[in-house]
Amino acid sequence: MSSGPYNYSYIFKYIIIGDMGVGKSCLLHQFTEKKFMADCPHTIGVEFGTRIIEVAGQKIKLQIWDTAGQERFRAVTRSYYRGAAGALMVYDITRRSTYNHLSSWLTDTRNLTNPSTVIFLIGNKSDLDGQRDVTYEEAKQFADENGLMFVEASAKTGQNVEEAFLETAKKIYQSIQDGRLDLNAAESGVQHKPASTGRPLAAPPAKNDNCAC
């Protein structure tokens, strides 16, 4: 058989965060299944999705952790930030309160991830332009001031969803190329897997001391 590596060279870990009901799970579902999930139940915990994408000819496996947005779970979901290479921070353009909480989400992200983690701001539900409560310009300014990447997207129509996930990956990949992201750092959120060997990453030994018993 021929051309190209069959396998991925990297694994990037993403987290999706933001207030309850902004559409985090729908964005994930749209990205992995290319479908809109109507009547999506609230996430009670952390959902998990994966997809293989290609950046600059390299196959990259995205491992995406979609977190519960409810305030009461905030303390628990903080456990999941560690080791994320990308953070998708989502608000709902039709609900200003979800936008107002961004600074608190941003603080958590900055505190709990490493400096090279790429943070991408997504204003979801762009299909509901008529009910808009936050202008594009305002959010864009917030993103610029905080050095975030930004798009308005719609998990319903799929608009910009692919872009948000892919642009994040491109930025992470750039960081690797520039040497800004240290792959050896335990918490880089990136695992490198030399594609040529066709072997999986040597997995770390099971951490028995972490078992709750």
Partner 1 sequence: MNHEEIKAVVQEKFLSSEKVTAFLCDAKVLHPDWVKKERLLAIVEYGDEKAVFCLFTSCYPPKSFTDLSVEIVLPVDNTFKCEIDNKPSDPEAILYLNLQSRNNKFKFEIQMTPRVDNFVDDLFRGIEAVNKLQLQPEFLWLKKYNGKNEDDILAHTMVAPRGGVTHMQNSAPVAIRESLIKRKMSDKENDYTFTKKFTVFCGTWNVNDKSPVIPLKGWLSVDKEPPDIYAIGFQELDLSKETFLFDQTAREDEWYNAVLGYVDRRAKYVKVEKVRLVGMLLIVLIKEKHFSHVRNVICDTVGTGIMGKMGNKGGVSIRLDLHNTSICFVNSHLAAHVEEYERRNQDFRDICNRTRFIQPNQQPKGIKDHDHIYWLGDLNYRITELDPQSVRKLVSENNFLPVLERDQLKQQHKNGNVFSGYTEGPITFKPTYKYDPGTDNWDSSEKNRAPAWCDRIFWKGNNIIQLAYRSHPPLNISDHKPVSAIFMSEIKIIDEEKYRKVYEEVIKQLDKLENELIPQVKVDITDIDFGTVKYLELQVRTITIKNTGKLPVEFEFIKKLDEASFCKEWLIVEPYKKCICADETCEIQLKVLINKTSACKMNAGIDKLYDILVLHLYGGKDIFITVNGTYERSCFGCSIEVLVNLNKPVREIPVGKLIELESKRDQCISNHSTYSIPKEIWFLVDHIYLHGLKEPNLFEQPGLHSEVLQIRDWLDTGSIDPIPGSIHSVAEALLLLLESTADPIIPYNLQSVCLRASANYLQCKQIIMELPEFRKNVFLYLCEFLQEALQHSAENGLDSKTLSTLFGAIFLRDNPNVIQEPQSRINKQVIDKKKAHFVYHFLTNDHSDLIFAR
Query: Minimum distance from CB of 130 to partner 1 (Å)?
Result: 33
Choosing from 137, 145, 178, 209, the residue that interacts with partner 1 (CB under 8 A) is 209
Q: How far apart are CA 200 and CA 17, in angstroms?
A: 29
The first and second tokens of residue 85, run together, are: 């290479």
- Under the binding rule (CB under 8 A), the answer on residue 6 touching partner 1 is yes
Query: Minimum distance from CB of 143 to partner 1 (Å)?
Result: 26
Q: How far apart are CA 194 and CA 31, in angstroms?
A: 26
Q: How far apart are CA 86 and CA 188, in angstroms?
A: 10
Query: Minimum distance from CB of 55 to partner 1 (Å)?
Result: 14
Residue 40: DSSP 8-state: P
- Under the binding rule (CB under 8 A), the answer on residue 21 touching partner 1 is no
Q: Which stretch binds partner 1 (CB under 8 A): 46-54, 98-106, 137-145, 171-179?
A: 46-54
For residues 47 and 28, the answer to whether their CB atoms sit within 8 Å is yes
- Under the binding rule (CB under 8 A), the answer on residue 45 touching partner 1 is yes
For residues 11 and 191, the answer to whether their CB atoms sit within 8 Å is yes
For residues 99 and 91, the answer to whether their CB atoms sit within 8 Å is yes
Question: Looking only at residues 52 through 91 of this chain, which bind partner 1 when binding is defined by CB under 8 A?
Answer: 52, 63, 65, 68, 72-73, 75-76, 78-80, 82-84
Q: How far apart are CA 121 and CA 105, in angstroms?
A: 11
- Under the binding rule (CB under 8 A), the answer on residue 185 touching partner 1 is no
Pairing of strands 10-18, 190-192: antiparallel
- Under the binding rule (CB under 8 A), the answer on residue 107 touching partner 1 is no
Chain residues that interact with partner 1, rule: CB under 8 A: 1-4, 6-8, 11, 13, 32-33, 44-52, 63, 65, 68, 72-73, 75-76, 78-80, 82-84, 189, 191, 193, 197-213
